Chain A
């Protein structure tokens, strides 16, 4: 199937984007952790201060998915900052529906985002992958990705809302 297009997401795509986010979360065995709503996606991506950018993959009507969808893949990214090298492009989510894999759609999305990174003066594209996700790790390593957790020992830490509120009111 060579018939697909990649385009910038528009406000009308938020319901498809949320559907694909949930499918990816299901694959990562963390579906119940998705609490984001269409309303938040709309405000946060298409308001005055976008927190993310999104690219979608779309097929023509006659190639729609088994349940009738034409938006069959997406990638969400934003810009971050490394005080050593400057701007970076951070790939937050990247997903193509199972029945549309093997046609080069994922590959083209990655190339498109690499082009965006270079055009916007980013030194690097960063992302995280779960260590058990062998197919994805292979996909990225085949294209030259390095694993900074293995090579340099970086570990990801998170502080959730309740503790964040406690910290913000800490006395000296």
Chain B
């Protein structure tokens, strides 16, 4: 099946938002999606974007039963390792179920890797849920190493009330 991978445009945010929700459903956490295409537009397409996004598009004759031609996306941003310097973090990679097995996921990831190499990034990082065997296998086959297993890294978070409480005690300027 022919498909094209290209940089997302502001008008693609409605499709990206639709697919973000599909991925959240797959990850069994749909109630955790709090933002819509409006925030995506504001945060990805202003002079100082907080993420970059690639989308996979199929020709009209292959559109989904609901009429969509945008069938996959990869959302990523740049991070920094104090040990090695510039890195790229792939936050989301998703292809609609009917379009899997055609090399679209591979194509999206190849483009993220290309962008990372062009920007002199020393590595690409991502996180995967431990039960998500298909994804784990896909990434491991491309050379990914589980740093949680190898080095013991855990993700921690301060959010909501906890963050506000800490912030209230911030030293004055």
| Contacting residues, chain A, for B33 (C-beta < 8 A) | 83-84
Shortest C-beta distance, B50 to chain A (Å), equals 5
Task: Determine if A68 is an interface residue (Cβ-Cβ < 8 Å).
Answer: no
What mask results when residues 143 to 167 of chain B are scored 1 for a CB within 8 Å of chain A, else 0? 1111111011111111111111111
Q: A170 at the A/B interface (Cβ < 8 Å)?
A: yes
Interface residues of chain A: helix, strand, loop or mixed (majority)? mixed
CA distance A129 to B154 in the complex (A): 5
Residue A97 CB within 8 A of the other chain: no
Q: Which residue of B lies closest to A146 (CB)?
A: B157
Q: Mark A127-147, 1 if CB is under 8 A from B, else 0.
A: 111111000010010011111
A155: Cβ under 8 A from any B Cβ: yes
Residues of A within 8 A of B169 (CB): 111
Complex Cα spacing A164 to B131, Å: 24
B82 A147 Cβ-Cβ under 8 A? no
Using a CB–CB distance below 8 Å, which chain B residues touch chain A? 16, 20, 24, 29, 32-35, 39-40, 43-44, 50-51, 75, 77-86, 89, 91-92, 103, 106-107, 109-111, 113-114, 116-117, 121-131, 139, 142-149, 151-167, 169-171
Besides A157-B146, A158-B145, A159-B142, 18 more A-B contacts (Cβ < 8 Å) are A35-B83, A36-B83, A36-B85, A79-B77, A80-B89, A83-B33, A83-B75, A83-B91, A90-B79, A108-B171, A111-B170, A128-B154, A130-B152, A148-B154, A157-B145, A160-B122, A160-B143, A164-B117
23 A–B pairs (Cβ distance < 8 Å), ordered by A = A35-B85, A44-B80, A44-B85, A78-B78, A80-B89, A84-B29, A85-B32, A85-B34, A123-B163, A128-B153, A128-B155, A129-B154, A137-B154, A143-B162, A149-B154, A156-B125, A159-B143, A163-B143, A166-B142, A167-B110, A167-B142, A168-B111, A172-B107
